[in-house]
């Protein structure tokens, strides 16, 4: 009767982590597909939303409202990054594009540190209801369920919008063939800015889900470690994006769940395997890279547009 309770608990945990990876990956893929920039500064732009939230929450505003408003910070900086920097780069020269996005990551994460006052520890209040839920023998935190549900709703809403709306169609057109899109009267710069804005908002939401809720009811305490989440967030997000070959949005979302569940379910594995938790993302990424997943998802035209 050791029952399935731990399995359910771990699954919920994996789903909420996966939802966050999925959101980050959606933003990465959206930006990469439309503008050919693999954004290494993705988390840093999202981080600014978190900083905006921390500042707004301090003024006494209801935390949930502060969280929603602070998404605008990421939208602003994402759009600004495209307008001022990435629009002016030759995307055929990936070396420069990647180096610039890395420089931007340094710049923005340092900016976040400065605004937070460069304290070793910063207290951040939670904005989702924090409770320990007990259903039968299963113990889960409400924030995990909220994170998973919110992320899934937002992600599906985004996917439907991307499929059905006029702007979504225009974004796909820009991704597939810039010249033809321009001939059809689609403003490439405007739509690329939209892609950067929305992609960055998704990153902002992802970081707002994780960081303020990593603690208990008192909110979280953020250290300077959390301001450079390479291993904990960026690498699994890249992995998730690779599941869809960096171009397929629904697969990137699914990939997020894959990385989240793989990492958390390993806790249940017998001893030598459960030590792999930290490196499971690396193993999966190696497999995905060797599979060259972009072959399955991108049309020939898209591959040419992205110079792969």
Partner 1 sequence: MAVAVDAPPRNPEAEPRAPSATEGSGRRTRLIGLGLLGLLALLPIPFGDFGFFAGQYALVYAMLGLSVTVVTGYAGLISLMPYSFAGIGAMITGLAMASWGWPFWLAILLGALATIPFSVLVGVASIRLKGLYLAIATLTMANALGETFFQWGDVTGGNTGWLISRPRVGPIDFASDRMFYGLCLAVVLLLLWMVEGLRTSRTGRAMLAVRDNELEAQALGINVYKTKLVALVIGGMIAAIGGGFLAALLLNPTPSAFRPPFAEVTSILLITLVSIGGIDRALGAFFGAIALVIQQQVFQGAEFFFAFFGIYTGFTVILFLMFRPGGLIQIGKLQLALIRERPVLGIAVTVAIVGLNVGIAWLVLSLS
Binding site for partner 1 (CB under 8 A): 38, 40, 85, 88-90, 92-96, 98-100, 102-111, 113-114, 117-118, 225, 228-231, 234-235, 238-239, 242, 278-279, 281-282, 285-286, 289-290, 292, 308
Please, which residue, 121 or 225, has the CB nearer to partner 1?
Answer: 225
Coil, strand or helix at 37: coil
Within 8 A by CB and 6+ apart from 219, the residues are 123, 124, 125, 126, 212
Please, which residue, 15 or 206, has the CB nearer to partner 1?
Answer: 206
The CB-of-285 to partner 1 minimum distance in angstroms stands at 5
The CB-of-48 to partner 1 minimum distance in angstroms stands at 13
Please, which residue, 149 or 286, has the CB nearer to partner 1?
Answer: 286
The CB-of-238 to partner 1 minimum distance in angstroms stands at 5
Instruction: Report the alpha-carbon distance of residue 148 to residue 128 in Å, rounded.
Output: 12
Phi, psi of 141, deg, nearest 5: -90, 140
Nearest CA-CA partner of 249 in 17, 15, 24, 86: 24
The CB-of-303 to partner 1 minimum distance in angstroms stands at 12
The CB-of-3 to partner 1 minimum distance in angstroms stands at 32
Can you read off the two tokens belonging to residue 105? 């990551």
Coil, strand or helix at 176: helix
Please, which residue, 85 or 221, has the CB nearer to partner 1?
Answer: 85
Please, which residue, 177 or 228, has the CB nearer to partner 1?
Answer: 228
Residue 37 · residue 97 · CB < 8 Å: yes
Instruction: Report the alpha-carbon distance of residue 86 to residue 68 in Å, rounded.
Output: 26
Can you read off the two tokens belonging to residue 172? 């796909």
Can you read off the two tokens belonging to residue 30? 């959206």
Coil, strand or helix at 141: strand
The CB-of-169 to partner 1 minimum distance in angstroms stands at 26
Please, which residue, 118 or 161, has the CB nearer to partner 1?
Answer: 118
């Amino acid at each position: 009767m050791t029952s399935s309770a731990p399995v359910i608990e771990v699954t919920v945990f994996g789903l909420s982590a996966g939802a966050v990876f999925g959101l980050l990956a959606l933003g990465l893929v959206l930006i990469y597909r439309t503008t050919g920039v693999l954004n290494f500064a993705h988390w840093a732009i999202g981080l600014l939303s978190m900083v905006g939230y921390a500042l707004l929450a301090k003024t006494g505003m209801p935390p949930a409202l502060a969280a929603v408003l602070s998404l605008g910070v990421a939208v602003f900086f994402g759009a600004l990054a495209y307008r001022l920097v990435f629009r002016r780069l030759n995307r055929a020269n990936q070396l420069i594009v990647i180096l610039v996005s890395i420089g931007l990551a340094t710049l923005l994460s340092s900016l976040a540190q400065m605004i937070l006052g460069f304290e070793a520890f910063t207290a951040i209040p939670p904005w989702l209801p924090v409770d320990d839920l007990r259903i039968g023998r299963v113990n889960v935190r409400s924030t995990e369920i909220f994170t998973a549900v919110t992320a899934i709703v937002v992600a599906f809403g985004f996917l439907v919008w991307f499929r059905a709306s006029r702007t979504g169609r225009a974004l796909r057109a820009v991704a597939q063939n810039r010249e033809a899109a321009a001939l059809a009267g689609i403003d490439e710069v405007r739509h690329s800015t939209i892609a950067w804005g929305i992609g960055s908002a998704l990153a902002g939401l992802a970081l707002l889900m994780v960081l303020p809720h990593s603690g208990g009811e008192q909110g979280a305490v953020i250290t300077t470690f959390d301001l450079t989440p390479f291993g904990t967030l960026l690498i699994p997000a890249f992995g998730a994006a690779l599941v869809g070959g960096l171009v397929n949005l629904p697969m990137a979302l699914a990939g997020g769940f894959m990385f989240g569940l793989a990492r958390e379910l390993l806790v249940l594995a017998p001893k030598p395997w459960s030590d792999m938790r930290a490196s499971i993302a690396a193993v999966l990424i190696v497999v995905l890279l060797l599979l060259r997943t972009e072959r399955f998802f991108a049309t020939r035209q898209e591959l040419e547009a992205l110079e792969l």
